[in-house]
């Protein structure tokens, strides 16, 4: 009989957002009249920018004619998109990459999850706690961790606590780690790492021959000038960091799917024979073997954000969600709750009242005010006593949600 990958047996029942969806569906079935406002999963609600729509319509028309029809494209992405990304997001900051150091994909969740395949299973990983669950779960699946322990942590993983007490800044690990996942602006806490903090991490990685997997999916939400928009703004980062970026939150592509990963040729790991090997050809091998490219139509839509009009429309979209973030943050402060994030990120991370356990607060919000959020503990043990709200709702629902909380919740 075929055997299973036993590493999957180490994972808790279901993926965090699947569990939330299950609980909300059960509540809705019991209370069909409930007017539920969803501020849980970070899914966008506003339509795609008009420039993207027009570019995609045009691309659809091209597909209708033999002369302009496209079949398989380059797995790494069409040059019109990779060149636009490199020019607008990197060269504009004095950072240069070759076009074969960028890989377009169907989104950064896939890339963040798949990247671990090109690393040995004997690497020790470090993750912040709380953390976007994809980083940890995919390493559990690959067998890079031990069992889940009573304290909610997996054996063999270095957890870097991020709480209000340390201002959500992870400390450098005491032991040597090989792979470090950093997310900035952070999902779930909505906080950021300064240039100085990020420099510490790059220096650590250089000294310890580690690789930083830098998730910058929310880079478009940075408003403060001293926060690096890409890790490659930090000297030496191109030797130690792989960066993930996404059109999902930047331009409303959560359903449309497009992201990209920068794998500089200078980021290297050690082979079994002790030689140094660049990760870039390994990722290229993986990408071309397992992925057949993001749809032409979608890539045309993504490239449209780099036109002057596209840049304007994307800024408007980001501002819309950031205004929601302000409304939520200030509303929470008015009812006496401590709220973090929401300044350089679309997430607001709040301290639950009287240290209420995160899932209890989830139930309280769902049952008393029909609002769905995300329990902090779902992102890791240090998220216990915290709760995440997203600013990706529409304006009216965001205002209604804050009003409901103000008018109903008593602690």
Residue count (the chain):
411
x/- map, 113-142, ligand MLT, by CB under 6 A: -------------------x----------
Report how far residue 7's alpha carbon sits from residue 156's, in angstroms, rounded to the nearest whole number.
13
Nearer to ligand MLT, 43 or 83 (CB): 43
Smallest distance from ligand MLT to CB 153, Å: 20
Rounded CA-CA distance 355/76 in Å is 47
Q: How far is the CB of 132 from ligand MLT (least distance, A)?
A: 6
The number of beta carbons lying within 10 Å of the beta carbon of residue 305 is: 27
Residue nearest to ligand MLT (CB): 42
The closest of 167, 163, 198 to 184, measured between CA atoms, is 198
Q: Minimum Å distance from CB 281 to ligand MLT? A: 28
187 belongs to the binding site for ligand MLT (CB under 6 A): yes
Nearer to ligand MLT, 132 or 260 (CB): 132
- Choose which of 38, 109, 238, 245 interacts with ligand MLT (CB under 6 A): 109
CB 348 within 8 A of CB 323: no
Query: Does residue 310 sit in helix, strand or coil?
Result: helix
Whole-angstrom Cα distance, residue 5 to residue 60? 41
Contact between 257 and ligand MLT by CB under 6 A: the answer reads no
Instruction: Report in angstroms how near the CB of residue 250 gets to ligand MLT at its nearest.
Output: 12
Question: Nearest CA to 128 among 151, 161, 95, 106?
Answer: 161
42 vs 341, beta carbon nearer ligand MLT: 42
CB nearer to ligand MLT: give 42 or 293: 42
Q: How many residues of this chain interact with ligand MLT, rule: CB under 6 A? A: 6
Which secondary-structure segment (H or E) carries 105? Answer: strand 102-105
Residue 396 neighbours by CB under 8 Å, 6+ apart:
none
- The interface with ligand MLT within residues 35-64 (CB under 6 A) comprises 41-43
> What residues make contact with ligand MLT under the rule CB under 6 A?
41-43, 109, 132, 187
């Amino acid at each position: 009989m075929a055997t299973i990958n036993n590493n999957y047996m180490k994972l808790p029942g279901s993926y965090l957002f699947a569990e939330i969806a299950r609980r909300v569906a059960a509540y809705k079935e019991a209370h069909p009249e409930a007017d539920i406002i969803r501020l849980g999963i970070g899914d966008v609600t506003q339509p795609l920018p008009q420039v993207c729509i027009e570019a995609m319509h045009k691309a659809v028309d091209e597909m209708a004619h033999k002369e302009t029809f496209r079949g398989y494209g380059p797995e790494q992405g069409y040059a019109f998109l990779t060149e636009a990304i490199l020019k607008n997001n990197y060269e504009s900051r004095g950072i240069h990459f070759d076009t074969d150091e960028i890989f377009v994909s169907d989104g950064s969740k896939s890339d963040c999850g798949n990247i671990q395949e090109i690393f040995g299973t004997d690497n020790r990983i470090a993750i912040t706690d709380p953390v976007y669950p994809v980083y940890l779960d995919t390493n559990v699946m690959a067998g890079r961790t031990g069992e889940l322990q009573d304290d909610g942590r997996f054996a063999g993983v270095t957890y870097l606590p991020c709480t209000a007490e340390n201002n959500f800044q992870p400390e450098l690990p005491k032991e040597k780690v090989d792979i470090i996942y950093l997310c900035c602006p952070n999902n779930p806490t909505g906080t950021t790492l300064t240039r100085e903090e990020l420099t510490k991490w790059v220096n650590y990685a250089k000294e310890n021959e580690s690789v930083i997997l830098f998730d910058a999916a929310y880079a478009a939400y940075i408003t403060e000038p001293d926060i690096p928009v890409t890790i490659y703004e930090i000297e030496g980062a191109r030797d130690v960091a792989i960066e993930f970026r996404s059109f999902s939150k930047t331009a409303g592509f959560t359903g449309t799917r497009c992201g990209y990963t920068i794998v500089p040729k200078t980021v290297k790991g050690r082979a079994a024979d002790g030689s140094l090997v660049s990760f870039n050809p390994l990722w290229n091998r993986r990408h071309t073997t397992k992925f057949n490219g993001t749809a032409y139509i979608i890539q045309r839509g993504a490239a449209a954000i780099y036109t002057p009009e596209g840049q304007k429309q994307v800024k408007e979209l980001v501002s819309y969600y950031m205004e929601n973030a302000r409304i939520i943050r200030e509303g929470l402060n008015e009812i006496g709750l401590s709220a973090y994030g929401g300044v350089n990120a679309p997430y607001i991370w709040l301290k639950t009242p009287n240290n209420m356990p995160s899932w209890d607060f989830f139930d309280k919000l769902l049952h008393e005010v029909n609002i769905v959020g995300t329990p902090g503990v779902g992102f890791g043990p240090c998220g216990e006593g915290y709760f995440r709200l997203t600013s990706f709702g529409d304006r009216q629902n965001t205002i209604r949600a804050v009003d409901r909380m103000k008018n109903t919740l008593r602690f």
